[in-house]
Amino acid sequence: MVGAAGMLGRAVVAEFEAEHEVMTATRKGDEVAYGIDLTDARSVRGVVLRAAPELIVNCAAYTAVDACETDLESAFAVNAIGPKNLALAAAAIDATLFHVSTDYVFDGTKVGAYIEYDRPNPTSIYGQSKFAGEEEVRRHAGRYYIGRVQWLYGPGGRNFADTILRLADEKPSLRVVDDQFGCPTSTLDAARQIRLLVEEGDPGLYHMSARGRTSWHGFARALLDAAGRSDYRIEPCATVEFPRPAPRPANSELRNLNLELTIGDSMPPWEDALVPYLERRNA
C-alpha cells in the first residue's frame, strides 16, 4: 500500500486489513511502514523487492491542484514518474498494480457523464500529470487496474466536507460555487470498491464514483442538512467570482460503465454516504 498516510490510503488499509496482510509504504518509514521515494526508481524497486507483495495499491499523489500550476516538476515527478516506477517494479515481480486516478483527466465540457471510453483532455497541470501517470501504468505494468475517483472526502484528511463543517462553525454564512458539477465520493466507498475490483474484477480502467450529480453548493447544502444545520445560510455563486490558478472542470460527472458491465456497480448514491461519514467523523 503506497500513500497509506493519506485520506484515501487510510481507508484502503482499513478495508483490506480485515482479510489480508497489509504492508504500508510512506515517505518516512519505520519497522512497520516502508520508507519510499516514489520519484526514485531505485527506492521504489528496493521496497517492492523487499516487501514482495501480490498487489500494490497506489493512493499517493500530488493533489494540490493550484500548486501544480507553478510546480510542474513536482507534479509530474510524483503523478507520472512515480506510477511509472511502481509499474516497472510491479512487473519485475509479477505483482498486480492498482493505480488511483482522477476526473481531472477530462476537460469538463461534455454534456452528460464521462465514461471510461471518452477521450481525456486535461486542462490543468494536475490533470495532465495524472493522465501521464495512467499512460505510464498502461505502458509498463503487467497486470494493472486504474480506478478514477472524484470529489473525494472522508475521515483523516483535508477535504471539502470537513472545510464546510468547520467554516459553518466559524462564519455566519457561506458562498459556495454552484456551476461545477460532479459526484461527491466517500473514501470509505471508494476503498470498498477497490477491494471488490481486485477480488472479483478483471484488470482494466474503471470509474469508481458515487452515483448521481450535484454542484459544490448542493453538496454543501446536503451535508449541513445531514449534520442538523438546515438553518445555516449558504448562498450559491459562480466560479468566475472565485478565480483560481488551475482551471476546474465544469462537469466532472463520471459514470461507472465498466463496473456496470462487469462485476456490477455497487457504489451508492452520493447522498447515502453523508450520514456514515458524519458518524465516523464524530466518533
For residue 147, what pLDDT band results from cuts at 50, 70 and 90? very high
15-35 pLDDT, tens digit per residue, is: 999 899 999 987 765 544 678
Q: What is the pLDDT of residue 53?
A: 96
- Active-site residue flag, 62: no
Measure the CA–CA gap between 151 and 183, rounded to whole angstroms.
6
Non-local (6+) Cβ contacts of 41 within 8 A are: 85, 88, 89
Checking if the pLDDT of 85 tops 60, the result is: yes
Checking if the pLDDT of 255 tops 70, the result is: yes
Q: What is the pLDDT of residue 191?
A: 98
Section 214-238 average pLDDT: 98
* Cβ atoms 146, 137 nearer than 8 A: yes
Single out the catalytic residue among 104, 126, 206, 277.
Answer: 126
* Cβ atoms 183, 252 nearer than 8 A: yes
Q: How many CB atoms lie within 10 A of CB 283?
A: 6
Section 153-169 average pLDDT: 94
264-276 pLDDT, tens digit per residue, is: 999 999 999 999 9
Among 243, 236, 241, CA closest to 174:
236
DSSP string, 175-208: EEE-S-EE--EEHHHHHHHHHHHHHHSPSEEEE-
Q: What is the pLDDT of residue 9?
A: 95
Checking if the pLDDT of 86 tops 80, the result is: yes
Extract the runs of DSSP E, i.e. beta strands, from 59-180.
96-102, 143-149, 152-153, 173-177
Section 159-187 average pLDDT: 97
What's the mean pLDDT when you consider all of the chain?
Answer: 95
109-128 pLDDT, tens digit per residue, is: 999 999 999 999 999 999 99
The full set of domains in the chain, from first to last, is 7-282 (3.40.50.720)
Q: What is the pLDDT of residue 98?
A: 98
174-183 pLDDT, tens digit per residue, is: 999 999 999 9
Measure the CA–CA gap between 274 and 283, rounded to whole angstroms.
14
Section 38-65 average pLDDT: 96
Q: What is the pLDDT of residue 68?
A: 98
Q: What predicted TM-score, i.e. pTM, was given to this entire model? A: 0.95
Burial of 202 (0-12, 13-18, 19+ CB in 10 A): exposed
Distances (CA, A) of 52 to 22, 47, 48, 195, 216: 12, 8, 6, 19, 42
